[in-house]
């Protein structure tokens, strides 16, 4: 049915995931970190959709699960950006390392 | 009527609550009348219950209020056992309490703490009634501890002075020693019989006796240890004379008529247990006889009127235990009742004298009979009853005890009883003579003395009536009303019942009377005619006299030996607590702090570090899971 083999999807998904992971670990800009988290979530989504497609009509739960991930990702971004914004209003920095001083 | 038996403790309890809540600011002296009315009503109810029990014939009725607690097989109901024994005790306790409450209205009228006094007194009555009517050992123990508490509070009533406070503490601590025995006995009872209710325990006594008589002896002796503490017997008697630091009505109510007889009641109630407990009953009898003799000898030389009465109480309680020991529980309860009347009267009379003269030292009295005629005549009646002169109450009951010792085959205990009778007659003669007769030795005290108000003298007269008439419930000897009434309550299975031999009884009674008369004659000779002169006798007795005046140095002995030993033991316990128990807890807390301080460094606050640790965890998880999946970790 499909011309593209499953392995290709998984490879792209894994690549996206590790790019995101690397970004989260390496970058210091809070906005970029949030974007990288988003990338990781979407990598997972891609894998889920690929498996779902492969299984065809037998099991559509992978596709359904992706919708849940979207919702979670939207919430995560909303909360994350709100925190970053609040921190930025407090002190005009966006570097997560410098935010360390808000700990108790 | 019996269904309402719980009103008897309920009324004093209500009076206690009311007086405690409102006494200080609003009720003031009215607290006395509230307490008296509550106790008086309780006495009326007790009388009704008594008459109903009288008509009910044998056996007792149990009136359960509610189940207090149940743990496993242990069920403890708040239940009253109404049988002849408890009905008789209830009537005695409440009626004498009522008279003493009325008297206290006069005696305590000018005391600033009157509301306190009339809070603790009805509370005491509540606990005493609870003790008497409980149908199991645990509930009895509640009353037992409660009266101890009230005793403590009332001995230390005038706590501004050091002596009452110290005496209260002493009474409490010495009672704890006895209470330990009671507690252990209670636990053993439950373990042995699987119940703490009287009728269930007593029903199983023959069965247990067949299997393991030793455990019965242990239980009985431990209960008796409790009784020695509460009833001031050797070796735990020395708190009672010191308890005289409390107000005189307290001495009359708690330390003469009611609380101190709780031990006698306990042993009488447990007669089926004691009767099968091997040598336990003999121990009770011997301790009782020795205490009677020992305390009477000390009473010979005391100069404080209340202390004479206190030692006399210890001595008379000894007689009651003697009666229990020689297998005459009815005589013990009989003597308990008559003693309650005449000893309460002696104390209240002493209180009247103290109220009039503000003195307790008999050396400063003398000739007071012209100033205090009512007090004099009533105390004379009570003194006669104590000296066991017929036909006063003390004669019938005491004679029965001494007679039972002889008839049941304990001639030595009989001898002690008769000899103590001589001493008793002597010291009561001495006390009354020194107080009321002769020339006034302190003119100032004499001139200021005045008869007490009617609120105090009327109870004296009523009690005097009791001291005369109470003995007739035991007439004729061994077949009177009290015997027929109480016999079923304390009867032991299989005990042989022999008809009284009136010839022997008359002989024994004559012996007792002669003993009493000898004591009185010696007393009058020494103090009225001064031949021989008391001072000369004291000098001649020399060392013995010093020993008696110093109460055989028992307090000093206890202080030096027992108290020192306990100080050392408890010091060790304290050190163990501080260094091991507390030390362990403190060190554990210190360790937690240390670990926490170390882990605190992990919380850097740098988000990158957290992310890295998450990833590291993830990698570890994958490695382990992958390892399992690939079979690397399998053997």
Domain ranges of chain A: 6-102
Integer angstrom CA distances of residue B516 from B425, B428, B429, B512: 5, 10, 10, 6
Q: What is the mean pLDDT of chain B?
A: 86
Q: Which of A97, A101, A103 sits opposite B608 (nearest CB)?
A: A97
Nearest in space to B153 (alpha carbons), one of B74, B51, B259: B259
pLDDT (average), residues B120-140:
92
Contact call for A102 and B605, based on CB within 8 A: yes
Q: Which residue has the higher pLDDT, B77 or B550?
A: B77
Q: What are phi and psi of B279, to 5 degrees?
A: -75, 0
At B57, is the pLDDT very low, low, confident or very high (cuts 50, 70, 90)?
low
- Number of other residues whose CB lies within 10 A of the CB of residue B212: 11
Chain A residues with CB within 8 Å of chain B CB: 21, 24-25, 28, 33, 96-97, 99-103
Indicate the burial class of B568 (C-beta count within 10 angstroms; 0-12, 13-18, 19 or more).
exposed
- Asked if A97 and B607 come within 8 Å (Cβ–Cβ), the reply is yes
Residue B94's pLDDT band (cuts 50, 70, 90): very high
What does residue B550 show for φ and ψ, rounded to 5 degrees? -90, 15
pLDDT tens digit sequence for B465-480: 888 888 888 777 666 7
- Considering only B198-212, B261-275, B550-564, which range has the smallest mean pLDDT? B550-564
DSSP state string for B86-105: HHHHHHHHHHHHHHHHHHHH
Look at domain A6-102 and name its CATH class. mainly alpha
Q: What's the pLDDT score for residue A74?
A: 92
- Give the contacts of B271 (CB within 8 A, at least 6 positions apart): B324, B329, B490, B491, B492
Mark yes or no for CB contact B607/A103 under 8 Å: no
Minimal CA separation from B613 to chain A, in Å: 10
- Residues in B touching A19 (Cβ below 8 Å): none
**B-chain residues near A21 (CB < 8 A):** 615
Residue given tokens 């030595």 in the structure block:
B412
pLDDT at B41 > cutoff 90: yes
DSSP state letter for B562: I
Helices assigned H by DSSP within B57-83: none
Residue B499 confidence (pLDDT) above 70? no
Provide, as residue numbers in chain B, all residues whose Cβ is less than 8 Å from the Cβ of A25: 608, 611-612, 615
Helices (H), strands (E): how many in chain B? 28, 2
The stretch B475-492 carries a mean pLDDT of: 72
The pTM score is 0.76
Query: What mean pLDDT comes out for the span B509-538?
Result: 83
What percentage of residues in chain B have a pLDDT greater than 70?
97
Closest residue in A to B615 (Cα) is: A21
- Nearest CB among B603, B604, B611 relative to A25 is that of B611
Distance of CA B548 to the CA centre of its chain: 25
pLDDT bin (cut points 50, 70, 90) of residue B199 is confident
Q: Do B608 and A21 touch (CB under 8 A)?
A: no
Q: Is the pLDDT of residue A84 over 90?
A: no
What's the CA gap between B292 and B234, in Å, rounded?
Answer: 9
Cα–Cα distance between A76 and B105 in angstroms, integer? 82
- Chain A residue numbers touching B611 (CB-CB < 8 A): 24-25
User: Quick check: A99 and B607 CB within 8 A?
Assistant: yes
Q: Please write the tens of the pLDDT for every residue from B311-327.
A: 999 999 999 999 998 88
Interface test with A, best of B600, B602, B607, B610 (most A CBs within 10 A): B607
**B601 or B293, which is more confident:** B293
Write the residue in A21, A96, A101 that is nearest to B607 by C-beta: A96
Q: Which residue, among B603, B606, B617, would best test binding to A if mutated, counting the most A CBs under 10 Å from its CB?
A: B606
- Give the residue, A57 or B339, on which the prediction is more confident: B339
CA distances from B375 to B104, B342, B353, B462, B467 (A): 15, 13, 8, 12, 14
What would the mean pLDDT of B471-494 be, rounded to a whole number? Answer: 72
Give the A:B interface size as CB pairs under 8 Å.
Answer: 24
Length, in residues, of chain A: 104
Does the pLDDT at position B309 exceed 60? yes
pLDDT at B145: 92
Q: Give me the pLDDT at residue A42, please.
A: 93
Q: Of B35-44, B110-119, B200-209, which has the strongest mean pLDDT?
A: B35-44
Confidence of residue B162 (pLDDT cuts 50, 70, 90): confident
CB contact under 8 A, A100 and B606: yes
**Chain B: residue nearest A101 by CA?**
B605
Residue B130: which of B150, B154, B103 has the closest Cα?
B150
Is-contact B285 B321, C-beta < 8 A? Answer: yes
The tens digit of pLDDT for each residue in B553-602 reads 877 777 777 778 888 888 999 999 998 999 999 999 999 999 999 888 87
At residue B141, the pLDDT reads: 93
Of A21, A101, A102, the CB nearest to B615: A21
CB-based contact A100 B615, cutoff 8 Å: no
Q: Could you report the per-residue pLDDT of B279-291, keeping only the tens digit for each?
A: 888 899 999 999 9
In chain B, which residues have their Cβ closer than 8 Å to the Cβ of A97? 606-608
Of B601 and B622, the structure prediction assigns the larger pLDDT to: B622
Q: What is the pLDDT of residue A60?
A: 77
Q: What is the pLDDT of residue A2?
A: 59
Q: What is the mean pLDDT of residues B293-320?
A: 89
pLDDT at site B223:
92
Run of H or E including B54: helix B30-56
pLDDT at B497 (0 to 100): 56
Q: How close A31 comes to chain B (CA, Å)?
A: 13
Q: What pLDDT is recorded for position B315?
A: 92
Looking at per-residue confidence, does A93 or B519 come out higher?
Answer: B519
**Nearest-by-Cβ selection for A24 from B604, B606, B611:** B611
* CA distances in angstroms from B569 to B189, B557, B561, B564, B591, listed in the order given: 29, 18, 12, 9, 31
Question: Is the Cβ pair B607, A100 closer than 8 Å?
Answer: yes
A14-31 residue pLDDT tens: 999 999 999 988 888 888
Q: Is the pLDDT of residue B617 over 90?
A: yes
Rounded to an integer, the average pLDDT of B104-115 is: 87
Cβ–Cβ of B605/A25 closer than 8 Å? Answer: no
The CA distance from B619 to the nearest CA of chain A, in Å, is 12
What's the pLDDT tens digit per position in B536-565?
777 777 787 787 777 778 777 777 777 788
- The Cα angle at residue B228 between residues B227 and B234, in degrees rounded to 5: 165
Per the CB < 8 Å rule, is B615 touching A99? no
CA distance A34 to A85: 13
Per-residue model confidence (pLDDT) at position B59: 64
CB neighbour list of residue B328: distance below 8 Å, 6 or more residues apart:
B400, B401, B404, B405, B408
Q: How confident is the model at residue A100 (pLDDT cuts 50, 70, 90)?
A: low
Q: What is the pLDDT of residues A27-42, one digit of tens each?
A: 888 889 889 999 999 9
Give the nearest chain B residue to A102 (CA atoms): B605
- Give the sign of the dihedral formed by CA A70, CA A74, CA A75, CA A80: positive
Q: Which of B48, B44, B53, B57 is nearest to B86 (CA)?
A: B53
The answer to whether B417 and B399 have CB atoms below 8 angstroms apart is no
In sequence order, the 6+-apart residues with CB closer than 8 A to the CB of B418 are B402, B511, B512, B515
* Interface contact A96-B603, CB threshold 8 A: no
> Cβ contact (<8 Å) for A25 and B615?
yes
Q: Which chain B residues are Cβ-neighbours of A18 within 8 angstroms?
A: none
**Burial class of residue B99 (count of CB atoms within 10 Å of its CB; 0-12, 13-18, 19+):** buried
8 Å CB contact of B607 and A33? yes
Q: Among residues B253, B435, B438, B430, which one has the least CA distance to residue B360? A: B435
Question: Does A25 contact B606 at a Cβ distance shorter than 8 Å?
Answer: no
Q: Residue B495: pLDDT above 70? A: no
In whole angstroms, give the CA distance from residue B291 to residue B298.
11
Distances A20 to A10, A26, A33, A38, A45 between C-alpha atoms, Å: 15, 10, 8, 8, 13
Mutation site, B600, B611, B612, B615, interface A, largest A CB count within 10 A: B611
Which residue in A18, A21, A31, A34 has the most chain B C-beta atoms within 10 A of its own C-beta, making it the best mutation to test that interface?
A: A21
> How far is B516 from B513, CA to CA, in rounded Å?
5
CA distance B590 to chain A (A): 22
Environment class of B110 (CB within 10 Å of its CB; exposed 0-12, middle 13-18, buried 19+): exposed
Packing angle, helices B198-211 and B213-230, rounded to 10: 140
Residue B425 has pLDDT above 70, yes or no: yes
Select the residue from A14, A25, A29, A39 to test the B interface by mutation, using most B Cβ atoms within 10 A: A25
Best probe of the B interface among A24, A26, A80, A104, by most B CBs < 10 A, is A24
Q: With CA atoms as reference, report the closest residue to B219 among B189, B193, B197, B198.
A: B189
Q: Which candidate from B604, B605, B608 shows the least CB-CB separation from A25?
A: B608
Q: DSSP for B106-139, please give it.
A: HHTTT-TTHHHHHHHHHHHHHHHHHHHHBSBHHH
The token pair at B457 is 């003298």
- Cβ contacts (< 8 Å) between B614 and chain A: which residues? none
Distance of alpha carbon B8 from alpha carbon B94, whole angstroms: 8
Say which residue the tokens 């008379």 belong to.
Answer: B316
Q: Residue A103 has which token pair?
A: 């700990």
This model of the complex carries an ipTM of 0.76
pLDDT at residue number B1: 65
List B64's β-bridge partners, or say none. B79
- For residue B618, what is the nearest residue in chain A, using CA coordinates? A21
**A32: exposed, middle or buried (Cβ count in 10 Å: 0-12, 13-18, 19+):** middle
Task: Give the closest of A21, A24, A103 to B605, CB-based.
Answer: A103
Q: Is the per-residue pLDDT at A75 higher than 90?
A: yes
Residue A24: list chain B partners with CB under 8 A: 611
Q: Please tell me the predicted confidence (pLDDT) of residue B561.
A: 77
**Contact indicator for B292, B318 with CB cutoff of 8 Å:** yes
Say what the pLDDT of residue A58 is.
67
Contact A100 B604 (CB under 8 A): yes
User: What band does B527 get if pLDDT is binned at 50, 70 and 90?
Assistant: confident
Q: Do B607 and A25 touch (CB under 8 A)?
A: no
Most confident segment among B327-331, B398-402, B523-527, B575-579: B575-579
pLDDT score of B142: 93
List, in sequence order, every beta strand (DSSP E) within B353-397. none
Tell me what pLDDT residue A38 has.
92
């Amino acid at each position: 049915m499909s011309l593209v083999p499953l392995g290709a999807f998984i490879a792209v998904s894994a690549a996206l995931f590790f790019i995101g992971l690397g970004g989260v670990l390496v970058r210091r800009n809070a906005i970029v970190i949030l974007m990288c988290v988003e990338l990781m979530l979407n990598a997972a989504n891609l894998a889920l959709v690929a498996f779902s497609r492969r299984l065809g009509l037998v099991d559509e739960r992978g596709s359904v699960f992706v919708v849940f991930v979207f919702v979670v990702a939207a919430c995560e971004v909303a909360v994350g950006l709100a925190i970053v914004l609040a921190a930025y209003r407090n002190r005009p920095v966006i570097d997560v390392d410098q935010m360390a001083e808000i700990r108790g | 009527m019996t269904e309402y038996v719980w009103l008897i403790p309920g009324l004093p309890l209500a009076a206690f609550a009311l007086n405690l809540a409102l006494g200080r600011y609003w009720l003031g002296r009215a607290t006395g009348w509230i307490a008296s009315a509550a106790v008086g009503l309780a006495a009326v109810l007790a009388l009704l219950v008594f008459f109903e029990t009288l008509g009910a014939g044998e056996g007792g009725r149990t009136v359960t209020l509610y189940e207090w607690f149940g743990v496993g097989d242990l069920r403890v109901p708040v239940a009253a056992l109404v049988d002849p024994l408890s009905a008789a005790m209830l009537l005695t306790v409440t009626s004498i309490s009522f008279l003493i409450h009325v008297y206290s209205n006069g005696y305590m009228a000018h005391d600033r703490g009157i509301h306190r006094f009339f809070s603790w007194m009805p509370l005491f009555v509540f606990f005493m009634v609870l003790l008497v009517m409980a149908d199991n050992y645990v509930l009895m123990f509640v009353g037992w501890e409660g009266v101890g508490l009230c005793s403590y509070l009332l001995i230390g009533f005038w706590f501004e002075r050091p002596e009452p406070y110290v005496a209260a503490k002493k009474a409490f601590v010495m009672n704890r020693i006895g209470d330990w025995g009671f507690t252990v006995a209670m636990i053993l009872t439950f373990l042995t019989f699987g119940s703490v209710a009287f009728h269930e325990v007593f029903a199983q006594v023959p069965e247990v006796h067949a299997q393991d008589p030793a455990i019965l002896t242990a239980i009985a002796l431990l209960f008796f240890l409790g009784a020695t503490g509460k009833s001031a017997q050797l070796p735990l008697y020395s708190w009672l004379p010191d308890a005289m630091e409390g107000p005189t009505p307290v001495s009359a109510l708690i330390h003469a008529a009611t609380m101190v007889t709780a031990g006698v009641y306990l042993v009488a109630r447990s007669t089926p247990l004691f009767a099968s407990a091997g040598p336990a009953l003999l121990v009770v009898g011997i301790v009782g006889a020795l205490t009677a003799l020992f305390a009477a000898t000390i009473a010979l030389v005391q100069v404080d009127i209340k202390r004479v009465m206190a030692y006399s109480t210890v001595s008379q309680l000894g007689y009651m235990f003697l009666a229990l020991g020689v297998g005459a529980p009815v005589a013990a309860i009989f003597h308990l009742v008559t003693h309650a009347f005449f000893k309460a009267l002696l104390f209240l009379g002493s209180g009247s004298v103290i109220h009039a003269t503000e003195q307790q030292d008999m050396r400063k009295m003398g000739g007071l009979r012209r100033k205090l005629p009512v007090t004099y005549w009533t105390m004379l009646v009570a003194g006669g009853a104590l000296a066991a002169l017929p036909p006063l109450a003390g004669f019938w009951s005491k004679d029965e005890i001494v007679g039972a010792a002889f008839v049941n085959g304990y001639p030595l205990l009989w001898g002690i009883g008769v000899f103590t009778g001589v001493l008793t007659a002597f010291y009561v003669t001495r006390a009354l003579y020194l107080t009321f007769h002769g020339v006034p030795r302190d003119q100032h005290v004499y001139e200021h003395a005045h008869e007490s108000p009617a609120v105090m003298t009327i109870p004296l007269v009523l009690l005097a009536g009791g001291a005369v008439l109470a003995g007739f419930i035991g007439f004729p000897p061994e077949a009177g009303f009290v015997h027929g009434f109480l016999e079923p309550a304390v009867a032991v299975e299989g005990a042989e019942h022999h008809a009284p031999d009136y010839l022997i009884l008359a002989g024994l009674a004559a012996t007792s009377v002669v003993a009493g008369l000898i004591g009185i004659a010696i007393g009058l000779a020494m103090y009225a005619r001064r031949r021989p002169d008391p001072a000369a006798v004291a000098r001649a007795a020399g060392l013995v006299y010093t020993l008696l005046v110093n109460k055989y140095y028992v307090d000093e002995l206890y202080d030096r030996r027992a108290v020192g030993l306990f100080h050392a033991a408890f010091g060790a316990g304290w050190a163990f607590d501080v260094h091991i128990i507390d030390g362990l807890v403190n060190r554990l807390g210190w360790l937690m702090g240390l670990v926490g301080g170390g882990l605190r460094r992990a919380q850097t606050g740098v988000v990158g570090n957290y992310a890295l640790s998450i990833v590291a965890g993830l990698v570890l998880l994958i490695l382990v899971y992958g390892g399992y999946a690939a079979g690397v970790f399998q053997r």
